[in-house]
Structure 1
């Protein structure tokens, strides 16, 4: 297999090399309407996902193909995008000076300035990076996992944790509308498409903490997505071994009505065949989204956003074979399955927004949205297993084979879980901007309906004994004298819950910009309020951010923020392990303290940026939880306190000329102290100490322990990520994209609900994905009238190798017991190496 992969990569590279072309250069200067030089303008060839930046004096020099018409794109956050066509002779240099106009979003006479994040604690991400990202998910969340402070150890899932938080602690907005995650999904295999359609995105902003009061009530992060407003007819699409997508943009003649539609299909069948468990996988995930923007007149605008998603997952397992243990104690688990799992996850979402522009700098926004989530999880799976000891004797003819059997057993997993959630809300927001200060405020009402029916259990049988082992009536000769004993099931839950509730929230935020002799400064102060009628909890959340930009020759920005961040419970936090609801649960609280800096510099005459943030989060009223794969199960009690602290660093820039790459590293520690938790150790007559009691042993002593601070389930001490791009110097449309992720050992523990035992560590997560892409058609390349490809602006072909190093990453464990109650932790591995090919096009 390794030889095949090497041959494939060499073949792709040789294919790229055949496309080498001659080159030329375009040089010039870029200035604004007043003749002032503009720095950091991005100059790129249209259709090519790379470029260069202008220098401090506005000068630039870009390498282009010679002998053909080339479309250059000049873009800057504060200026209108500009395209110019030019033709350069072989090895020639051509002068082209550019004047950019300050960027405005114009509604006839109304002008709204583009968003500037310099005074905000937000990171801006270029959506273009997503197009050729080598990752099986190909979602916005995939690129987030390469950012500092963000971690994930599952390439099958779009879930991520930020600075010690869990998956439920992240805010996601699309066009100002909050998005909700499914609640029943317990594995990445079941997870369908991310809500966000990356082909429809115009801007991505992300904050890993210390965000402003205008963002909602969660304790970890915020992802703010904007879908683009169509300006001309066009579209795009892609097809690969993992699915397909198509997007269409429509605009009327007056250009005041635009529509953007996107369809996606995804199937992990090919990917899941690389899992440990052999069987028939039939995942089918479909998604349709629409965004319509209608400018009625100079002051009135209406937006519509809708989403229909249908995700089904059918799995008929057959066999599984897993080797585990150590070199000196190697074992093998073999399981033979019967039964199947059938899941359905559907989403309906619709939203309408009305924008009224009182003045060019004063916008009133009214939003109404509705979500309906239906989730169904049904499975009956029987597994018959055997545990074998492997022969590790050097020189043995049976080395690596089965030496002897250590036990047999069986288990049955059953579930019939159904959940329907309806969320309706109305909201008003306002934004007022001036040169000196900004005002933002908003109020929101939300009504929630949840209907949850859960019935699940596990039955285990080891060597013909049902576990947990209970007393029996063996030896009785008189049947009437025999006692009745109950069959005990593990993880038994049988409940029906309904919850109707009202939630009110609002915020007010003031931003003041002022200058001194030493710096330009921005101070943002805000406060949020939240009330939920279930627990009658009124929350007040003050937040403050301060940005200082010294008037130094070097571009340095210092940022600091602090605030109170509450996370009111939604539904899952209320549900206890037995299925009952604890409606007295309170909001979790996190105090954020953060200080950081951005430093822009040049190396090798190319721009770079180094960012650093140090943070401390004090956590109170924590609801402890356990994570199994991507399933979070809460204890439904505010009985813990804790902290999260660490440092995040990132450097990004042109490691390779004319293309952006970045590397990030995070060091983090998060711990919690669960109030009132304890455990005993037991000593037998021989002086041996045990953490659990076994029925057939006699104990002479016991000792009480209070665990105090233990690692939280997301305590991943070190994470490192690299996103690297390169291209052939003489053929810049032939590219390589590399994505490397490392996450240190996460905590885990034996099956059961005792959090204090979750102090073991699973192996680190290590993964490398690589992609090779070639632009087959560019906008500047003219084709004959009869050529059907002349209608396409660009066509790309990409070949990707996932898990290049063939590392078996562990996502969770299956726990197997024998009659002596000895537990074996058998790792559940994620996907192995695989090849994917992809075709992308724009028209």
Structure 2
């Protein structure tokens, strides 16, 4: 009797549920005026925008719609005229539609493409809007640079890049004529956190992969010349994602004499690092604040300040790591169990004051005083116990892919207490004189460096009860490094450069020549580097060439046909 009652209640529930259904089915096929099915057509209810579907490759669609309601169905697709239809369906009724959507002729607005040439030798100008649209794990301006010929990077989480086989620290970076130093880094290849360049504040980007003019420094791989903009009104932006957040604001005050632009950024890679073979608790945190302030005393003189404060922390507690390697004939697997943690802390500070004097339309003088300080710490004690196993390769076995034989066990212990403290002061003067046919640039810079680097790290390895390297009377370490380096040195650099325009019959010829000198008292060595570039612009239609002076003057020349 109990079973019969339960069965009766179940049937009654299903009957009530079926009777309460308040939906219907709309299906059909969509073709063009030639009878060809159209795929990817959007089918949406006007009254319920969240209810919709798309047609398949055969132009067919199926959609569950509310019953006993007057509905408007919208059919839309790019390149076809939008079509609307009305339906009223009873409960569980199936309505079949055959829709014809004629093609639509699209008239695009006129697009004007203009060419602009600049007398920069091998310098290439990049559009900040396009560069910022390139997605990358590291983000920033460097993500766009890595797409250029000759530029490469072996770590997508880092903003570092190499040019034509050079090293990471052989690239020059300038922001508003102030040389920016990459993190010194205790060891090359470590994550340096955020790039110095804040893409929200960038106005222009110039880049050269070698062969640049004498006005740039002595690192020969590449030069990246960034200009932060001077705002003209109030503006701001903000962004938020799983990988971090950023915000910037800019404004003017004191009747336009005072302008400032500032940006704050936060970044973390913890969610990306969590997908690595080495499982553990990743907690990298990168934070920085930048500001660029300008005060215009009068038409001839202005004073600006560029500041940056950055703190990059990297905390890691490893747990396990499992890696499969070898060949089909000899598949191997290793699993490591970790104890310990790593804590890294990188702090950098930069401040630069620039005085710009423009006495007349031809002469510009600039004086720059800057200070940079980096403080880095790297500490870790990580122990790993590993097992090396041979895997079952018989595909018919239930244990396929599992460990079939243990080949060995071992232990390693990594220890480090490293620190670096670096301070750089510099004083520079840059000038430019512009005439009808000549553009003369000159500059001189004094730089004082003080670096204190201490390294204390070692590695212990044990395999099957034997310390490596093996000794029968003592325990040896596999690797030891103890070093203390202190450097206090001075550099003096300077350059003179002339850009000379020569009109020829079928175009214009531009010759840029100059010489640099570099003296470093650490090795008491004087280097002299002459440089020259030749550019020819053939005549045709009018082109606009803009010459950007280091001092900030912009002179425009039109090349006549």
Give the 5 Å matches for 1:578-657.
Answer: none
**Where does residue 524 of structure 2 map in the other structure?**
536
Which string of whole-angstrom CA distances, capped at 9 and with x for unpartnered residues, describes residues 346-387 of structure 1? 011100000000222321100000000000000000011111
SS in 1 for 2:130: helix
Q: Which residue in 1 is equivalent to 2:423?
A: 422
CA distance in 1, matches of 2:470, 2:542: 71
> Cα gap change, 1:293/1:212 in structure 2, threshold over 3 Å: closer, same or farther?
same
1:181 shift after superposition: 1.7
Structure 1, gaps ≥5 residues long: 1-10, 29-51, 56-75, 78-115, 474-484, 558-843
The answer to whether the 8 Å contact 1:119/1:522 transfers is no
Deviation at 1:398, TM superposition (A): 2.4
Change (3 A) 1:237 1:131: farther
1:508 to 477, 496, 500: 496
**Structure 2 match to 1:700:** none
**Maintained 8 Å contact 2:250/2:262:** yes
The residue correspondences of 1:242-261 to structure 2 (distance < 5 A) are 242-252=243-253, 254-261=255-262
Q: Which residue of 2 aligns with 1:267?
A: 268
**Is 1:53 aligned with 2:102?**
no
Superposition deviation, residue 464 in structure 1? 1.0
Q: 1:235 to 1:188 in 2, by over 3 A?
A: farther
| Deviation at residue 270 of structure 1 after TM alignment | 1.1
Do residues 176 (structure 1) and 198 (structure 2) align? no
CA contact (8 A) 2:151 2:162 kept: yes
Distance 2:319 2:338 in 1: 5
* Alignment deviations for residues 621-680 of structure 1 (CA, whole Å, 9 cap, x no partner): xxxxxxxxxxxxxxxxxxxxxxxxxxxxxxxxxxxxxxxxxxxxxxxxxxxxxxxxxxxx
The Cα shift of 1:333 comes to 1.6
Provide the C-alpha distance between the structure 2 equivalents of 1:409 and 1:419, rounded to a whole number of angstroms.
33
Give the conservation status (yes or no) of the 8 Å contact 2:186–2:418: no
Flag as ranges the 4+ runs of structure 1 deviating above 6 A. Answer: 17-26
Kept in 1, the 8 Å contact 2:412–2:460? The answer is yes
Matched with 2:137 is 136
How far does residue 185 in structure 1 lie from its aligned partner after superposition?
5.4
Unaligned runs of 5+ in 2: 1-49, 55-74, 83-104, 546-561
Whether the aligned pair in 2 keeps the contact of 1:185 and 1:191 (CA below 8 Å) is: no
Asked whether the 8 Å contact 2:411–2:463 carries over to 1, the reply is: yes
Residues 139 and 159 of structure 2 are in contact (CA less than 8 Å); yes or no, is this contact kept in structure 1?
A: no
What residue is the counterpart of 2:233 in the other structure?
Answer: 232
2:65 is aligned to none
Calculate the TM-score normalised by the size of structure 2.
0.76
Q: After superposition, where does 1:378-527 map in structure 2 within 5 Å? A: 378-470=379-471, 472-473=472-473, 485=474, 487-527=475-515
Secondary structure at the counterpart of residue 359 of structure 1: coil
Q: Whole-Å Cα distance in 2 between the matches of residues 457 and 535 of structure 1?
A: 31
After TM superposition, give the deviation of residue 253 of structure 1 in Å.
Answer: 5.1
TM-aligned CA deviation for residue 232 of structure 1: 0.6
Q: How far 1:435 sits from its partner (Å)?
A: 3.2
Residues 326-357 of structure 1, C-alpha deviation per residue, up to 9 Å, x if partnerless?
A: 33332212110000000100011100000000
Distance change in 2, residues 1:448/1:188 (3 Å) = closer
Residues in 2 aligned to 1:459 and 1:512: alpha-carbon distance in whole angstroms? 63
1:340 and 1:380 in contact (8 A); partners too:
yes
Shift of 1:18: 8.5
**Cα pair distance change 1:139/1:19, threshold 3 Å:** farther
Partner residue in 2 for 1:117: 118
Correspondence 1:202 to 2:207: no
Residue 366 (1) aligns with residue 425 (2): no
Tell me: CA distance 1:423–1:189, structure 2 relative to 1, closer, same or farther (3 Å).
closer
Cα offsets for 1:538-558 (capped at 9, x unmatched): 100111100112336799x9x
Residue 392 of structure 1: CA displacement?
A: 2.3
2:186–2:420: 8 Å Cα contact kept in structure 1?
no
Cα separation, 2, equivalents of 1:303 and 1:19? 53
1:325-336 to 2 correspondence within 5 Å? 325-336=326-337
Moved more, 177-186 or 335-344: 177-186
Find the residue that maps to 1:349 and give its secondary structure: strand
- Provide the residue aligned with 1:217 in structure 2: 218
- For residues 423 and 435 of structure 1, the distance between their equivalents in structure 2, rounded to whole angstroms, comes to 39
Question: Which string of whole-angstrom CA distances, capped at 9 and with x for unpartnered residues, describes residues 531-579 of structure 1?
Answer: 1111001100111100112336799x9xxxxxxxxxxxxxxxxxxxxxx
Q: Pick one of 542, 548, 551 that aligns with 2:539.
A: 551
- Which is greater in Rg? 2
Task: State the shift of 1:224 in Å.
Answer: 0.6
**How far apart in 1 are the matches of 2:497 and 2:434?**
12
> Could you give the per-residue CA deviations for residues 15-44 of structure 1, whole angstroms, max 9, x where no partner exists?
9x999799986867xxxxxxxxxxxxxxxx
In the superposition, relative to structure 1, how do residues 18 and 375 fare at CA in structure 2: closer, same or farther (>3 Å)?
A: farther
| Cα separation, partners in 2 of 1:178 and 1:329, compared to 1, 3 Å | farther
Structure 1 partner of 2:341: 340
1:330 and 1:145 map into 2 onto residues whose CA distance is 37
Shift of 1:497: 2.1
Change beyond 3 A, Cα 1:27–1:278 = closer
Q: CA deviation at 1:401?
A: 1.9
Q: Deviations over 1:421-470 (max 9, x none)?
A: 00000000012223311100000000011111110111111111111123
Please name the residue that 1:599 is paired with. none
Q: Report the alpha carbon displacement of residue 394 of structure 1 after superposing the two structures with TM.
A: 3.8
Return closer, same or farther for 1:342/1:151 CA change in 2, 3 Å cut-off: same
How many Å separate the matches in 2 of 1:395 and 1:538? 72
Question: Does the 8 Å contact 2:210/2:222 carry over to 1?
Answer: yes
What is the CA–CA distance in structure 2 between the aligned matches of 1:170 and 1:284, rounded to whole Å?
25
Secondary structure of the residue that 1:358 maps to in structure 2?
coil
**Per-residue CA shift, 1:142-187, capped at 9, x if unaligned?**
1111000001121110111100101011111111111112233558
Structure 2: distance between partners of 1:395 and 1:520: 76
- SS of alignment partner, residue 359 of structure 2: strand
Name the SS of the counterpart of 1:53 in structure 2.
coil
Q: Distance in 1 between matches of 2:290 and 2:511?
A: 38
Distance 1:18 1:362 in 2: 62
Q: Distance in 1 between matches of 2:307 and 2:281?
A: 33
Q: Distance in 2 between the 1:494 and 1:320 partners? A: 29
Q: Which structure has the higher relative contact order (CA within 8 Å, separation 6+)?
A: 1
Give the match's secondary structure for 1:274: coil
Cα distance in 2 for partners of 1:186, 1:240 equals 30
Distance 1:361 1:278 in 2: 62
